[in-house]
Structure 1
Amino acid sequence: MFFKCFLLFFNLFSIIYSYKILVVNPKFGYSHVNFFSQVADILTEAGHNVTVLAIDFDPTIKHPGAYKANVITVPFTKDVEGDFDSMLDNRFLWTLSNSGAEQFRLMLKLINGMHRQSLRVFNDEELAQKLRKEEFDLGITETINIYVLGMFKVWGIKSYIAGYSMSLGNDLYKYFGLPFPSSFMPTLMSSSTDEMTYSERFENWFVHNFGETVMYFLKDKMTLQSEFDRKYGVGFYDSDNIIGDSSFLLLNSNPFLDIPGPKTPKMVEVSGIGIKDPKPLDEYWDKILSLRNKTVLVSFGSFAKAVYMPDDMKNGLLETMRKLKDITFIWKYEKPEDGTGKDIENLVISKWLPQSDLLNDDRLSLFVTHGGMGSTTELSFRGVPAIAIPIIGDQMRNSKLIERQKCGIIMNKFELADSNILIKNIKTILDDDTYRNNAKILSRRLNNRPIGSKRLLIEHVEFAAEFGRLDMLDLTSRNMGMIEYYNLDIIFPVFFGLLLFILVVSPKFGYSHVNFFSQVADILTEAGHDVTVLTINIDPTITHPGAYKAKIITFPATKEVEDDFANLIDKRLLWNLSNGGAQQFRLMLKFINGIHKQSLRVFNDEELAEKIRKEEFDLGITEAMNIYVLGMFKVWGIKSYVAGYSMSLDGTGKDIENLVLTKWMPQSDLLNDERISLFVTHGGMGSTTELSFKGVPVISIPIIGDQMRNS
């Protein structure tokens, strides 16, 4: 009787401390869906009332969204399904280059494909009403679905946690007040580790910054910021801060496996939550593992299907199996009925296999894997050596983790066509016990982590549900500008005080850019330094000299270069240009192509190089946009440099009595006069800064580029 009363009391206690949690889980990648399904199911097992909003997107993903939690499904329409089907050719994944640029282009397709379904969720009032009635205590979703964090507010959910089904992405650092350290932290789509060559560091830096630039133009498609502003008013939702405002950020990484890097107290690493308790193999698989002394498991995951592997790669893999007759090969293959490998006695092909239990069996000698985060985590926890053959996305980086732990080898997917390479790699691992020993040591570390991943997940979620937003964990740097964060306001005066000769390189391709670096040069000249400005003519409409107080070296444009730029843009186009990212991005590409020719002239001008070398400048300054100039500083013998970032009367209006037209005006002085009531501006960085300092109200009408953001 006493025991029954105790159980009743315990159950009541559990109910009192049970939270209602909504996990939003869009189906756009199996590993993503699976991670958040694990989160939901673990929280359900912990006694919480969990609902999963599963948003259909990829029709090939049959995962329900969760197995133990309640599930609400938002089905896709035919056009959304068509978007995804037309977006990806499964054969394309196998031939896709491993370079960051190629991977990035594929990611752009995913973003465009998700946009339509996101809008459906955003505008679904029936769904919103249904979720509001549930009165959830906490919301959880992935940062890729950033708009959902805004929807939590629409749905009446005050507290939320952001998550990421991979390691900490290079795009997330900024939201938490951290700079991305590209010198030693590879981007998610990088094939490098933390020890990079010069060229790898350059590629890593370029991929990160190019990605940030392109994502700026695509930002609205991911965040739906303009949709929120239009429907709920400006200020209701701030996509720039909403991720950083989350109580915690759940990461699918483990400090004993991943590359160490800067993190904040809000970041919780919970990789391994999906590792199942091992079960004995059934009779069928037990017999297969006993056929030979060595067994190799081959699986390329669910996204890049092996059935679509190009014939040369498939034949190379099959030839490897034929030649290594003393090894049993188990291959996860989607269509065994097509006859693939039917003549190979030591090959077992299966649509499905108990991967977790196979990896837990000591008779499994090696795992040939695509390096997905799920498989990488699983083989690491089980202590199985691996050959990683990354195909797409973060698999490049995950594979490096295996290599970094010295428990596996990385192989380029295109090398599958050569059976000799795969045979050599298999023999290297099977003949050298070092790989298996290292894998077992890694497994022991992961399984004996002082505080387990499930406990970390449950307790941080419960803490967030109880206390909500945790501002005390925020770094102050979240609210700092670049100058303050890097102490440039302290370093520059000290550093520049020791310098005598400074070269400022200022290409003329945008008036606000030229004007900003002119101001830099003139201020340094006023401070007593010997400053020379190399002004590179590009846009013939810019008559700014490049500086007013510093010395000037002018690099003229040829007629061909000037004509190229003049023909680049029809000025009327700017007024008709959409504020959408796609058109803006196309225009940016035209600019890049337009300045390329003049950049090559500077690069190849030996006379200019010799002239600058003779000056023996102590410091070079240019805009980060002119990245090649940073390399030219080295050519010109300048060892130290600073990169910066700025972002005609034809009778029009002659009949309007209250209109004064002028080619030039003392804008700064006018804005300083209290009789100026209002400034109607394009929102250029220069004008935005000036009116802000002068305290003049404004109507901003952005036309192009960063003017949208400045406004």
Structure 2
Amino acid sequence: MLLRRVLGIFLLVTSGGECAKILGVIPTGGKSHHFVGASYMKLLAKAGHDVTVIAAFPEKNAPKNYRNIELTGVVEAMFEQMGNPFDFKDVSPLLNTVLIYTTFGKFSSEYTLNHPNVQRLMNSGETFDIVIVETFLTEAIYGLAQHFNASLITYSPFGSSLWTAELTGSPTPTSHIPNSWLYYDDKMTFYERLWNVVLNWWDNLLYRGVHLPSQNAIYRKAFPNAQITFEQQMRSVSLVLLNDHFSLGSIRPYSPNMIEVGGVQIEDVKPLPKDIGKFLDEATDGAIYFSMGSYLKSTDLPRAKRDAFIRAFSQLKQRVLWKFEDDTIPQKPDNLLIKPWLPQNDILAHPNMKLFITHGGLLGTTEALFHGKPTVGIPIFGDQMMNVRRATRLGYGTLLDLNDVTEQSVLAVIDEVLNNTRYSETVRLISQRYHDKPMTAKQTALYWIEYVIRHRGASHLRSPAVELAVVEYNQLDVLSVLVLIMGVIVFVSFWVLRFACRKLRAPSIISNKKID
């Protein structure tokens, strides 16, 4: 541990070699997305780079070399666009892809590029060395790289997907890589593999036929004097950073410019506020932390479900911390402490914390694994079901469907995870694997970003696959020619055989006539 910290300090001080001007773009109004993007930006600022960040949430107490450009109004506009996220729980994957590609992607790109603060920056005459953009259906925003004559780096708020594979030419075999909109992990049944293939076809059809043309139109409107086309900008990505790690998820094939930095948002543990620290320190029977994340709100839970949780918590000997966005809960039991905001990473690090009840978001799941805490997952939408299913399969957590939430079911899953030692043992093992690496997630991210800076875009990392059309990449043209050749061979063989058969039959017919 000491050696790794010394290495980290060494990298922070020496790895850059030069100060770069960096523009970071965090276009979505979701705090979980912001936490990931802001982690990269703060990391680069601490390393001495000149950092400008377009984001919905300005960084408080930012260093002098960190400039905020606020995307005012994006949070309110996003919530108006998306509505209540609990309504998406039972939406089918087919419909979900339609909704995402036709609404969210277009909204994020247009809102960001048309924002007055962004327009002022674009017209300022400034240049940057690197532009770092979140890749979450935001391809048109990549155009800021060519606008500022900069190299382009993107980061994914979760793991690999169709969008990241498209940028790097990385293969995504459907036999063991589930589609991002499905609730599968990497161990799929025949039925799941069949459905995975179908949804991948559907996903590709919408992505290429609906989403990318829409992003291209936004790109051309925002950058009428662009020196390169939308497609060329897509192929120019120097690096893709993934918020994933093989020890926490699935093994996948990556191109050299796809780098796993799962847990990059995890900060050093800080002292807890006095009231929370006292509450947990005195939890002699252990404590449970309950949060539905930054986008979902516990106050939006159906009333019957909320009351079921409260009744169940009142019967526990453990203390419960609940991120609840209201100051009061009627008939709140004494072992329950509610707060509209809680320092999640610091809470999960507390030795008395025994269980994390979560919506299954990737950031919270990663933090729980980092600190070795088992989970109960209540997934609602997005990748949450996939994360919870992975926890269930690997044995560090279990699933509680929101539709099945009752006082009895809540008590049952809590009892199962707290009193069955396999959960705590498994999560401890996975945590050890995650920590056993030469560099932390932050050190890895810093190294590779500065690698791109040092090598002026590091074009040598890019796979030649990004230059290939879909037909060429999938060898459809070659397969077509081979099928045609085989068809010709079969056709010619058939007629040769037919001609030979006629020749063989002809003497027999003649001899029969002579005998007659």
**SS of the residue 1:140 aligns to:** strand
Q: 1:261 to 1:75 in 2, by over 3 A?
A: closer
Partner Cα separation in structure 1 for residue 265 and residue 390 of structure 2? 19
**SS of the residue 1:249 aligns to:** strand
Structural RMSD (CA) = 3.1
User: How far 1:70 moved relative to its partner?
Assistant: 2.0
Q: Does 1:231 align with 2:224?
A: yes
Partner Cα separation in structure 2 for residue 118 and residue 283 of structure 1? 40
Partner Cα separation in structure 2 for residue 225 and residue 147 of structure 1? 6
Q: How does 1:41-440 map to 2 (within 5 A)?
A: 41-54=42-55, 56=56, 62=57, 64=59, 67-68=62-63, 70-76=66-72, 83-90=77-84, 92-94=85-87, 96-97=89-90, 99-107=92-100, 108-121=102-115, 126-130=120-124, 132-133=125-126, 135-144=127-136, 145-157=138-150, 159-215=151-207, 216-224=209-217, 227-228=220-221, 231-232=224-225, 236-289=227-280, 290-322=282-314, 324-337=315-328, 339-340=329-330, 342-416=331-405, 418-440=406-428
Asked if 1 retains the 8 angstrom alpha-carbon contact of 2:131 and 2:144, the reply is no
Q: 1:482 to 1:71 in 2, by over 3 A?
A: closer
**SS of the residue 1:73 aligns to:** strand
Asked if 2 retains the 8 angstrom alpha-carbon contact of 1:320 and 1:420, the reply is yes
Aligned to 2:441: 453
Q: TM-score, normalised by structure 2?
A: 0.83
Partner Cα separation in structure 2 for residue 225 and residue 267 of structure 1? 26
Task: Note the alpha carbon deviations across 1:463-508, whole angstroms, 9 max, x for none.
Answer: 111212333223333334556545567667778888xxxxxxxxxx
Partner Cα separation in structure 2 for residue 462 and residue 50 of structure 1? 13
Structure number with greater Rg is: 1
Letter in 2 for 1:434: R
Asked if 2 retains the 8 angstrom alpha-carbon contact of 1:162 and 1:243, the reply is no
Partner Cα separation in structure 2 for residue 364 and residue 424 of structure 1? 19
Letter in 2 for 1:258: G
Partner Cα separation in structure 2 for residue 525 and residue 89 of structure 1? 59
Q: 1:372 to 1:85 in 2, by over 3 A?
A: closer
Q: 1:248 to 1:13 in 2, by over 3 A?
A: closer
Letter in 1 for 2:94: A
Identity of aligned residues (%): 24
**SS of the residue 1:451 aligns to:** coil
Q: 1:439 to 1:66 in 2, by over 3 A?
A: farther
Asked if 2 retains the 8 angstrom alpha-carbon contact of 1:52 and 1:66, the reply is no
Unaligned residue ranges in structure 1 (runs of 5+)? 1-10, 57-61, 499-520, 531-711
Q: How does 1:654-693 map to 2 (within 5 A)?
A: none
Choose the corresponding residue for 2:454, options 466, 472, 494.
Answer: 466
Q: 1:271 to 1:229 in 2, by over 3 A?
A: closer
Asked if 2 retains the 8 angstrom alpha-carbon contact of 1:333 and 1:349, the reply is yes
Aligned to 2:23: 22
**SS of the residue 1:240 aligns to:** helix
Q: TM-score, normalised by structure 1?
A: 0.62
Asked if 2 retains the 8 angstrom alpha-carbon contact of 1:176 and 1:478, the reply is yes
Partner Cα separation in structure 1 for residue 37 and residue 450 of structure 2? 16
Q: 1:291 to 1:455 in 2, by over 3 A?
A: closer
Letter in 2 for 1:43: L
Q: Does 1:477 align with 2:465?
A: yes
Partner Cα separation in structure 2 for residue 333 and residue 123 of structure 1? 33
Q: 1:14 to 1:83 in 2, by over 3 A?
A: closer
Unaligned residue ranges in structure 2 (runs of 5+)? 1-11, 496-516
Partner Cα separation in structure 2 for residue 14 and residue 173 of structure 1? 28
Q: Would you tell me which structure has more helix in proportion to its own residues? A: 2
